[in-house]
Structure 1
Amino acid sequence: MTNLQPFDKMPFLNTAVVLLVGQEEKCVKKIVDAMLKAPKNFEVQIHVAPRLPLPKENEHLRPRIDMVVFIINFFSQPTLSELLSSLSKLDSHFFLGKVCFLEVRGGHVNQYGPKKITVQKMAETYQSPLLFLSPDCEEDVACVAHRLLHMLQICAGLVSGVSALDMVSVVKSPVF
């Protein structure tokens, strides 16, 4: 098992690689399907892992990962603890615009619950975007997939004049 690093391998031409980390299998499948169906002008490779670190075996075959998306189930405590454990397995350079948190919601959501505040604070602490997904709504899944693809395209360096560091501007800035 090894820590994941963003610049340890060379990128492929006109290709972006995303790693989805989470144990929400139904949700991950819907996101993957929507990302693959969406129109795009670059090739996308999607890898899925329930948690980090990734196994050391076949590491030499693994492509460079351009963006990591942590999928959090709002109502699952194990998901939250797995996320906290996985965050420590990422190289700090990933937190320069190459990490996104995706909160899965379903049913009635308490806007001010303690888990909600924890996830928001985590996203703010790591200065990473926080997206919300209702997996039962196909329109919502398509919208989130489109946003993830756009962010991935930027993280992979496929948008001229924009870098992954600009992703920090997506995050809510403090009000003075």
Structure 2
Amino acid sequence: MSELRPFDKLPLLNTAGVLLLGSEEGCRERVARALLQAPKPFQVKIHMAPGLPLPPEGEHRRPRFDLVLVLVSLDSQASLTAARASLPRLDPHYFLGKLCFLALGAARPHMVERSAVRKLADTHRSPLLFVQLDRPEDMDCAAQRLVNMLQVSAGLLPGISALYVGSLLQSSLSWD
């Protein structure tokens, strides 16, 4: 049974919640900082954790998570293992436009194969962004893309649902 469900809590007005999952704390903090600094017309609440399950204490203070970002450092095999271990604990509704994978350190030589992360994202029908944390312009661009995805997954764009993201992904996969 999944331990994290997207519709357990009511949404807050003009607010979106993000769960950053990743075994490397420094990477989580950089992504969180970039998300908070990106221009957006709504408030963002960010919760960071190395993986799932989340500890039961503080459950009442946690926001509703509209988007789960799974961070995989291409420099660490443990990062990919932690991501794989967390995914079965997510409710299947997160796989309908409310989950995104971030492969960090994309420009350097790495220990984790890009194809392994791509396969993980494809298996869960979720978008995958390759991001280089060392370049501020790359991080800013990725943060803006994540803000756009968050706006859709939180239902803050009238007429567009999170399912739309999934259909876009399916159509882009069929063009390959």
| TM-score, normalised relative to structure 1 | 0.91
Cα contact 1:129–1:170 (8 A) shared by 2: no
Distance 1:99 1:33 in 2: 19
| 2:113 counterpart SS class | helix
Is this contact kept in 1: 2:105–2:133, CA < 8 A?
Answer: yes
Matched, 1:29 2:26: no
Q: Which of 123, 126, 132 pairs up with 1:125?
A: 123
The Cα offsets for residues 22-56 of structure 1, whole Å up to 9 and x where unpaired, read as: 02222222222221112111111111001111011
Q: State the distance in 2 between where 1:150 and 1:62 align.
A: 22
After superposition, the Cα gap between the structure-2 partners of 1:27 and 1:170, relative to the gap in structure 1 and judged at 3 Å, is farther
> Is the alpha carbon distance of 1:146 and 1:107 closer, same or farther for their aligned partners in structure 2, counting shifts above 3 Å?
closer
Picking from 128, 140, 143, the partner of 1:142 is 140
Give ranges in structure 1 of 5+ residues lacking alignment.
Answer: none
Structure 1 stretches of 4+ moved >6 Å: none
Identity percentage of aligned residues: 47
Letter in 2 for 1:148: L
- Where structure 2 has 5 or more consecutive residues not aligned to the other structure, the ranges are none
- Asked if residue 115 in structure 1 is aligned to residue 113 in structure 2, the reply is yes
Aligned length: 173
Counterpart in 1 of 2:52? 52
Alpha-carbon distance, 1:175 to partner? 3.8
The amino acid across from 1:100 in the alignment is C
